[in-house]
Amino acid sequence: MNALDEHQSEPETAIAYDRVSKTYPSGNRSAVSELSLTVARGKLVVLLGPSGCGKTTLLKMTNRLIEPDSGSISVDGVDIHSLPAPELRRRIGYVIQQTGLFPHMRIEENIAVVPKLMKWDKVRTSARIDELLELVGLPPDTYRRRYPAQLSGGEQQRVGLARALAVNPETMLMDEPFGALDAITRSRLQLELRRIHQDLGQTIIFVTHDIDEAVRLADVIVVMREGQIVQAGEPLDIVTDPANEFVSELVGASDALRRLSLIEAVSVATPIGLGRVPPDLTIPAETDVRTAFGAMLSAGITSIGLTNNEGEIIGSLELDTVREIARTHPVGITA
């Protein structure tokens, strides 16, 4: 099964799994079984599935924190077993839940861990620490000398991200990094991650069991179940066209609101002149329909103006349109 053929054709392959299997000594079935997958360079791929589906095992086999029983894995065209594990891991950014920061090290020391292992000089490391803290939105002067315990969960996870980015790895592995954060902090960090990914263009494998997070972040979602890939594709495809009942249930495809969140308002806009002018409220045109709908409900209006980057109104989203999408688009899911 090579689910991502369509993406593989033009871009270069960054990570390739070839018939990878893993069974734990204590387990009675495979954690990962004969799994093949290629990840194109620069993509943010989300491994999605319930706990025990093998997604974390697959992730940790990528940097050899877990060794596969059979099959092969290559990262950037190099078989991961062709170099010592610590060396491999230094090339790959790794982010886990907030507890992954070293509590006895200051923030600057935490970020400097991999540069130090790679024997960077002090000046270069120090400059990089400032750069990274700026990147993740933490003013270096305030944060460098602090200990992790002095930071909020969200701040700690920003540091975790900065640490993983320290030596500018081409590949990042992220294991439910935002899982322990509150909803508001989580969505803020998700936006930051998207921004950083767009700016830096690493290949990212991101594990989560949260469908909303997957939809918000992923270029490609890989749905896993019992150690195998059930479906892989762009978020909209997964949500609108689940391969089977399992995926359908997992992604909650029948949830009309989730479908709305996948559609940009501008794509279903009513042209200027047909709606109410001037509208009571405007929002950016690329806002998703779900957010726009929420804004309409709270303002008690039936039409909302859509603006382009210059702030000019380019159309409107009508409540009737939203109803229509929720009811009919797409077909054949709930049947």
Partner 1 sequence: MNFDYMIDHWQEILVLTREHILLCAVAIGIALLVAIPMGIAVAAYPGMRTPMLVVLGAVYTIPSLAFLAFLIPSFGLGNKPAIIVLAAYAQLALVRNIQTGLSGVDPNILDAASGAGMTAWQSLMRVRLPLALPVLIAGLRIATVSTISLATVTAWIGAGGLGTLLFNGITFNRPSMILAGTVAITALALSADLLLRFAERITPASRALHSARG
Could you list the residues that contact partner 1 (CB under 8 A)?
Answer: 63, 65, 85-91, 94, 96-97, 99-105, 113-114, 117, 146-150, 163, 173
Minimum CB–partner distance for residue 10 and partner 1 (Å): 31
Q: Which stretches does DSSP call E strand in 202-252?
A: 203-208, 220-225, 228-233
Minimum CB–partner distance for residue 306 and partner 1 (Å): 44
Q: Coil, helix or strand for 17?
A: strand
Minimum CB–partner distance for residue 157 and partner 1 (Å): 12
Torsion, CA 10, CA 59, CA 61, CA 250, rounded to 10: -100
Give Rg (Cα) of the chain.
22
- Nearer CB in complex with partner 1: 113/295: 113
- Nearer CB in complex with partner 1: 117/295: 117
From the number of C-beta atoms within 10 Å of its C-beta (0-12, 13-18, 19+), residue 271 rates as exposed
For 267, the token pair is 């794509």
- Nearer CB in complex with partner 1: 114/222: 114
Minimum CB–partner distance for residue 100 and partner 1 (Å): 4
Torsion, CA 204, CA 209, CA 211, CA 214, rounded to 10: 0
Minimum CB–partner distance for residue 324 and partner 1 (Å): 47
Contact 71, 20 (CB under 8 A): yes
- Nearer CB in complex with partner 1: 62/240: 62
- Nearer CB in complex with partner 1: 120/246: 120
